[in-house]
Every structure is written in C-alpha cells, then in structure tokens.
C-alpha cells in the first residue's frame, strides 16, 4: 500500500469532517495544522446545541444560510475556545474559502491555505490572500483510503 502524503492525510481529515456537516447546502470540512500536528477541525454546522439545517431546513437571509457557521470559522473558533494559537498555522479545507472566512483566516495569522475544490473563488478573496502574503494552493483530494486493507494488514 502506498504511503499517504501529509497533504493527502490532512485533506482526508477535512473530507472526513465534511461528512459531519449539518447544512445540506454544502458539505465543507476544515483542518488547522501546526508543525504537522492537527490542532483543530470544523465543518459547516449550527451553533452547539442549536437546531440543524438537515432537520429544520436552512435559515435563509439574502441567499445565504444564516444558521451555518462555516467550517473554517468553526476550526478557528475551536482554537479560540481552547486557547490554541493559530499564528503561522496551515489550513486544509475541502472548498475555496468565502470572503468572510478569507478575512478571518488572514486575521488569525494562518499562513497557508490548501483547498481541494474550487468554489465560487471570489476575486476579492484572492486579492486579500495575495495582499496578506498567505500561500494558497489547490491540493485535489484523490486518495481513496482503503481502511479495509489497513485492517487486514494489521491482523
């Protein structure tokens, strides 16, 4: 079995998180990494204890779901909550970040953004990342992780 690269490993983690999304509009997952160590993760979902879009439908305001906290924000806020510094960290995310998340990513001191899929890549987000010298790279997620195979090997 081919050894998984760090990029694909962290991207796999983000895709696993995306499968936990409760806003059915888009399944997004994000992982924050420092020194090859996962420090936080998030997915598109409601506030803790709040109703899920998947149960009650989205709460739409001006064409956006107001209930959902984006995966990137959830990951950053997890660091805020538990006192983990995001300065100089890397972010792995399933989709290109929106303008709001872009600003929060920059302001949190995150220095690299790896995303798997283009998604309405806004020119303003691209400009902001460029101005802030955040390294942005598309890393398509192309690995099918064969857990069955891993299990069999371990036995």
- In what helix (H) or strand (E) does residue 103 lie, and over which residues does it extend? helix 99-107
Q: Find the shortest distance in angstroms from Cβ 26 to Zn ion.
A: 9
- Quick one: which of 33, 39, 70, 95 contacts Zn ion (CB under 5 A)? 70
Contacts with 13 (C-beta within 8 Å, 6 or more apart), sequence order: 29, 31, 38, 41, 92
- The count of other CB atoms within 10 Å of the CB of residue 40 is 22
**How far is Cα 66 from Cα 139, in angstroms, rounded to an integer?**
29
Q: Is 132 in the site for Zn ion (CB under 5 A)?
A: no
Q: Which residue among 2, 56, 72, 126 is the active-site one?
A: 72
Is 72 considered catalytic here?
A: yes
Of residues 35 through 54, those in contact with Zn ion by CB under 5 A are 53
Judged by the rule CB under 5 A, the positions of this chain that interact with Zn ion are: 23, 53, 58, 65, 68, 70, 98, 101
Task: Please list the active-site residues.
Answer: 72
């Amino acid at each position: 079995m081919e050894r998984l690269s760090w990029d694909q490993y962290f991207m796999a983690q983000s895709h696993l998180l995306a499968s936990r999304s409760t806003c059915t509009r888009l399944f997004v997952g994000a992982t924050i990494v420092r020194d090859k160590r996962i420090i936080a993760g998030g997915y598109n979902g409601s506030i803790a204890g709040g109703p899920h879009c998947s149960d009650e439908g989205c709460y739409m305001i001006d064409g956006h779901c107001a209930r959902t906290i984006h995966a990137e924000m959830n990951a950053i806020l997890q660091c805020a909550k538990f006192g983990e510094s995001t300065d100089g960290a890397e972010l792995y995310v399933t989709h290109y970040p929106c303008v709001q998340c872009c600003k929060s990513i920059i302001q949190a001191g995150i220095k690299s953004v790896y995303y798997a899929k283009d998604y309405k890549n806004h020119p303003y987000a691209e400009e902001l990342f460029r101005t802030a010298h955040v390294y942005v790279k598309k890393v398509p997620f192309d690995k099918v992780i064969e857990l069955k195979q891993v299990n069999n090997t371990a036995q």
